[in-house]
Structure 1
Amino acid sequence: MNKKIVKFLPVMLLCNSVSAFELSQHLRTSTEPTAKVRVAAKYPIEAARNNREGWARFSFIIEKDGSVSNVITEETSGSKDITLAAKKAILKWQYQPAMENGEPIQQCANSVQIDFRMHKQKNGTTGATKRFRSLYNKTKSALAEKDYAEVEQLLAKFEKIKHMHLSENNFLQLLSAQYASDIDDPALQLSHLNKTAFSSDPENNQQLVSILKQKFILQIKLNQLKAAYSTFKYLKKIASDEPYLADYQVLIERIDEFVKSEKELVVSGDMRSNDYWHYALVRNEFTLSNITGKLTKMDIRCANKRHVYSIENNNTWTIPDTWQQCNVYIFGENNTKFNLVEHPFKA
């Protein structure tokens, strides 16, 4: 059997990320949390036997005693056993907590991606199963014929596949993104592109760059400005000599100007079938409005603060300047729609 590899990308403490959106002065924690114990995730036996790879990305909180809590699954490659194994490992991690003014504090905006990989065979890692290929080809044909009702029915059948190979997940998400593009649903298209995972090695670089370019334009279109900035930084890293980056840089500068302006920033939210809706704030005051359906709670996770709120229509939240780099997780019933309106900075 091929050797199993389980690794995690470095934990990101979002208060330390440098971006164009650090527009106000913040108090800094004097000491950041440091890892004491990071238990390695166990490769699920069935996944290893089938040479099935995958990944899962999480948000979590480091408590005052250094333990990990409130783990939220952000994105996965579609294998429930791999996601569960990764989550179990994270919950066993221990940190030396962050300190502020000599006192331990929560560190609330942490994220990590855990990858499950097998050493490659001569012809690459194991590909799609016959069942997957058959369903994929039927869906692709229906999409080519613009039979969108049939496409929706076929895509729903993929949900019955509990465990997917990494390549299967990528094929499915790209096909689903194409469907979303055809029916002019940019939010759904971006959601599927976010669920792909391609390494930046030369073999996959062209496809990865293509996906990142699509994501960048969609993020701007959907007013997901902080996400657009992160995508731009990644593109510069792996495609630094591409001429289109100059045009993208102009867009980034316009984003900065808009964030600092007196205009409201409106982002459309849709719970669809996910457990939550996530958004990275670029300002410190926002309102939830035009709620159709039911939202149950909102979890605001900043670098050094975290609060959970109940939600009513047209409620407004003002975040103190000392709360650093805030992310909003909104929970509710499926298909609930709403607007998140970020208000201009106050003088």
Structure 2
Amino acid sequence: MNLIKINYIIKLIEQGKTDEAESNLNTLEHEANRVLDLVNIMVLHATLMSGRGRDDIALRYLQLVPILQESIESDPNAARILSRRLGLELKMGLLASAEVTSHRLAKARPQPDDATLQAELEKLRQLGASGKPLAIAGRVPAECRPMICDPAKPSWEYVPVHRTVSLADAKGRLDQVILRCTRRTVTIPATTDTTWTLPAKLGQCAVEVTGESGATFTLIDETLPG
């Protein structure tokens, strides 16, 4: 892949010329014909989305970058991508996801930001263990492309730290809450100020919220007394 074109796109993003950067990136994507090219394309899309203030979409692209466990120690790109992923997960308060990424990053090549990221992760861990509810900003993506999500049914997903979740402060239409657990999947209407408790017998769960593109809300992740 043409490094001159890649650097030009990055420069456009840094200059705030995101529409021009996207146009050039789409052209570059059509020219891609190798796995490494596609990896670079996904990383560039992530950079573009962060440049537009859409860290949630940037994270989706980075989560799709294939990182082989057997080569994680020797692959310099693995450490760089995992470090970016962890930074975004911490910024958005995604503790469970950040723990997984941190575990993988520990096996990769050291990065300059490792100590800072670990300090931020420890703060988030302490908040998660404090008993205080975690308020997570949710948004049904308006930038769905087949590469990262289904444009016909966009959704937002979160792995809770605790076993009780609820939705609040919805702006825009929300349709369904899908509780995807290892032993069962439950689909219920998405309503605000309704509390759902995830029994431990269901195993590890993820919460998926569907609705109209661009709808925003807050997910409350907590442990209720008693």
Shift of 1:251: 4.2
Shift of 1:227: 0.6
1:334 pairs with one of 200, 204, 213: 213
Counterpart residue type for residue 214 of structure 1? R
2:193 pairs with one of 314, 318, 333: 314
Q: 1: CA distance between counterparts of 2:89 and 2:158? A: 11
Shift of 1:142: 3.5
Tell me if structure 2 keeps the 8 A contact 1:260–1:345. Answer: no
Counterpart residue type for residue 147 of structure 1? K
Shift of 1:237: 2.3
Q: 1: CA distance between counterparts of 2:156 and 2:103? A: 24
- The number of equivalent residue pairs is 215
User: Relative to 1, partners in 2 of residues 1:338 and 1:155: Cα closer, same or farther, differing over 3 Å?
Assistant: farther
Match of 1:147 in 2: 17
Instruction: State the Cα deviation string for residues 131-160 of structure 1 (Å, max 9, x = none).
Output: xx998677456335432232344456678x
Q: 2: CA distance between counterparts of 1:202 and 1:329? A: 29
Counterpart residue type for residue 106 of structure 2? K
Asked whether 1:216 is paired with 2:86, we answer: yes
The correspondence of residues 48-59 of structure 1 with structure 2, limited to 5 A, is none
SS at match of 1:238: coil
Tell me if structure 2 keeps the 8 A contact 1:268–1:339. Answer: yes
Q: 2: CA distance between counterparts of 1:258 and 1:208? A: 28
1:267 pairs with one of 136, 143, 147: 136
Match of 1:300 in 2: 179
Which structure's residues are more often helix, by fraction? 2
Uncovered stretches (5+) of structure 1, i.e. residues with no partner: 1-127
Match of 1:230 in 2: 100
Counterpart residue type for residue 177 of structure 2? M
Asked whether 1:278 is paired with 2:157, we answer: yes
Shift of 1:179: 2.1
Larger radius of gyration: 1
Match of 1:193 in 2: 62
Q: 1: CA distance between counterparts of 2:72 and 2:176? A: 43
Shift of 1:268: 1.4
Which structure's residues are more often strand, by fraction? 1
Shift of 1:166: 2.0
- Sequence identity of aligned pairs in percent? 22
Pairwise CA RMSD of aligned residues?
3.3
Q: 1: CA distance between counterparts of 2:66 and 2:111? A: 22
SS at match of 1:308: strand
Tell me if structure 1 keeps the 8 A contact 2:74–2:108. Answer: no
User: Relative to 1, partners in 2 of residues 1:248 and 1:144: Cα closer, same or farther, differing over 3 Å?
Assistant: closer
Deviates more, 1:322-331 or 1:248-257: 248-257
SS at match of 2:13: helix
Match of 1:181 in 2: 50
Tell me if structure 2 keeps the 8 A contact 1:283–1:345. Answer: no
Tell me if structure 1 keeps the 8 A contact 2:14–2:51. Answer: no
Uncovered stretches (5+) of structure 2, i.e. residues with no partner: none
User: Relative to 1, partners in 2 of residues 1:262 and 1:247: Cα closer, same or farther, differing over 3 Å?
Assistant: same
Q: 2: CA distance between counterparts of 1:203 and 1:262? A: 36
Tell me if structure 2 keeps the 8 A contact 1:261–1:344. Answer: no
TM-score (norm 1): 0.53
TM-score (norm 2): 0.77
User: Relative to 1, partners in 2 of residues 1:345 and 1:165: Cα closer, same or farther, differing over 3 Å?
Assistant: farther
User: Relative to 1, partners in 2 of residues 1:209 and 1:312: Cα closer, same or farther, differing over 3 Å?
Assistant: same
SS at match of 1:301: strand
Q: 2: CA distance between counterparts of 1:302 and 1:202? A: 28
SS at match of 1:341: strand
Instruction: State the Cα deviation string for residues 63-90 of structure 1 (Å, max 9, x = none).
Output: xxxxxxxxxxxxxxxxxxxxxxxxxxxx
Q: 1: CA distance between counterparts of 2:185 and 2:4? A: 46
Counterpart residue type for residue 209 of structure 2? I
The correspondence of residues 64-83 of structure 1 with structure 2, limited to 5 A, is none
